[in-house]
Amino acid sequence: MFKQLIATGAAALITITAAHAAPLNQWLGNWEKNAGGLDSLSISNAGGNLTVSVNGECTPNPCDWGSVPATAYSNSAATDPTANTEAIIAVFNQGFSTKTVVLDGRAGDTLRAHVYTHFVDNSGRNDYVLHASMKKAPLTLTPVPGVIVAQPLKPFSEDCISFNPDQVSVARRNGSWKLIQGNMWMLDAGSNRNEMTRARDIVKRYGLNKQCFVGRPDASLHYWLVDNGAPSGAIPGEDCVNINPNNLSVRNNGGNFTVVSNGNHFAFSAPTQAEAQEIIKVIEYYGFTKSCFVGRPGPSMSYLRK
């Protein structure tokens, strides 16, 4: 169930605090306690039917609240909540009370949970709200012989080349300095050996093992991955600019389409609007917050990281 309007209850006005919007598929999965009064929760989507399950904190064992239908909310009536989810709301009827669970603040591997409890048993107890922080639970799968487990689908088609970072080196080929692995070259710095040495050090520092592109042969975006995830953490001497993965848009500059961050910061340029939108999907999916360069202007290497 997907909605664009925020609901208000009879007992309390539910306010969605400033959230980190992300595609709905990035909210799905199992979440465990980071801080606060919830033990765990899970969010699933089967054929457009969104469901939330919650375990509350009880002694000696967690309390199973069960599973209920949920609603995803975007930030406007013109925005599809499945593409840009700001919050998810689910209501649990426990007989003596109703608990309205508001999930928002999705950022990286955490989200916020707000539980609004309204008593209906005439006990005289006061309604209250509980706030909790949840973190993504590690994926635990029991291998089954002969069974291949499907991975979650990305909202874009990925074009990547895998390589072994331990075998990456700098070599002079055809009169220019290149980053290579065996017979494959990945970057070219012309006469600037120092830039290729720096690029090699970055690859090894992060353990990068995939070089990816949006739009080839003349790619409008180059990015690198570590085991299908984003590299993270700063390196001394980096040349980086900030990106807000939750506030990206496309600007048409006379037939050239520019991806901008926070409405005004130039980020990337693409020949078509579709390719620019693909760049946004990649940045949102991996949660990149930094765009970094080796050598400017005309960098010989560019990479994105958290």
Residues 219 and 124 in one domain: no
Residues 113 and 76 in one domain: yes
**What's the mean pLDDT in 205-228?**
90
What are the backbone angles phi and psi of residue 48, rounded to the nearest 5°? 85, 0
Q: Tell me which of 175 and 61 has the higher pLDDT.
A: 175
pLDDT score, position 2: 53
Residue pair 294/283 in contact by the 8 Å Cβ criterion? no
Residues 89 and 209 in one domain: no
User: For 56-107, how does the pLDDT look when each residue is reduced to its tens digit (9 = 90+)?
Assistant: 988 778 888 999 999 999 888 888 888 888 999 999 998 899 999 999 987 7
Angle in degrees, CA 269, 273, 278, rounded to 5: 80
User: Is 148 domain-assigned?
Assistant: no
pLDDT score, position 221: 92
Number of compact structural domains in the chain = 2
Residues 120 and 59 in one domain: yes
CATH number at residue 118: 2.40.128
Strand partners of residue 249: 260
**What's the mean pLDDT in 292-301?**
91
**What's the mean pLDDT in 131-152?**
69
Does residue 130 carry a pLDDT above 50?
Answer: yes
User: For 257-296, how does the pLDDT look when each residue is reduced to its tens digit (9 = 90+)?
Assistant: 999 887 667 778 899 999 999 999 999 888 899 999 999 8
Residues 54 and 129 in one domain: yes
pLDDT score, position 9: 40
Name which of 246, 225, 240, 227 is nearest 299 in CA terms: 240
pLDDT score, position 5: 41
3 state SS for the chain: CEECCCCCCCCCCCCCCCCCCECHHHCCEEEEEEECCEEEEEEEEECCEEEEEEEECCCCCCEEEEEEEEEEECCCCCCCCCCCECEEEEEEECCCEEEEEEEEEEECCEEEEEEEEEECCCCCCCCEEEEEEEEECCCCCCCCCCCCCCCCCCCCCCEEEECCHHHCEEEEECCEEEEEECCEEEEECCCCHHHHHHHHHHHHHHCCCEEEEECCCCCCEEEEEECCECCCCCCCCCEEEECCCCCEEEEEECCEEEEEECCCEEEEEECCHHHHHHHHHHHHHHCCCEEEEECCCCCCEEEEEC
Residues 117 and 179 in one domain: no
Could you tell me the CA-to-CA distances from 243 to 4, 83, 89, 158, 304 in Å, in that order?
A: 26, 19, 29, 21, 9
Does residue 146 carry a pLDDT above 70?
Answer: no
Domain that holds residue 300: 159-305
User: For 6-50, how does the pLDDT look when each residue is reduced to its tens digit (9 = 90+)?
Assistant: 443 434 445 555 455 678 888 888 899 988 889 999 998 887 889
Answer with the one of 136, 171, 198 that is the final residue of a domain.
136
User: Is 145 domain-assigned?
Assistant: no
Residues 124 and 167 in one domain: no
Residues 167 and 301 in one domain: yes
Residues 128 and 185 in one domain: no
User: Is 203 domain-assigned?
Assistant: yes
Residues 288 and 222 in one domain: yes
User: Is 9 domain-assigned?
Assistant: yes
User: Is 150 domain-assigned?
Assistant: no
User: Is 291 domain-assigned?
Assistant: yes
pLDDT score, position 4: 46
Residues 120 and 255 in one domain: no
Could you tell me the CA-to-CA distances from 42 to 28, 109, 128, 277 in Å, in that order?
A: 7, 14, 23, 29
pLDDT bucket at 128, cuts 50 / 70 / 90: very high
Close Cβ partners of 217 (under 8 Å, ≥ 6 residues apart): none
Residues 111 and 193 in one domain: no
User: Is 154 domain-assigned?
Assistant: no
User: Is 151 domain-assigned?
Assistant: no
pTM, two decimals, is 0.53
pLDDT score, position 57: 87
| Mean of the per-residue pLDDT values of the chain | 85
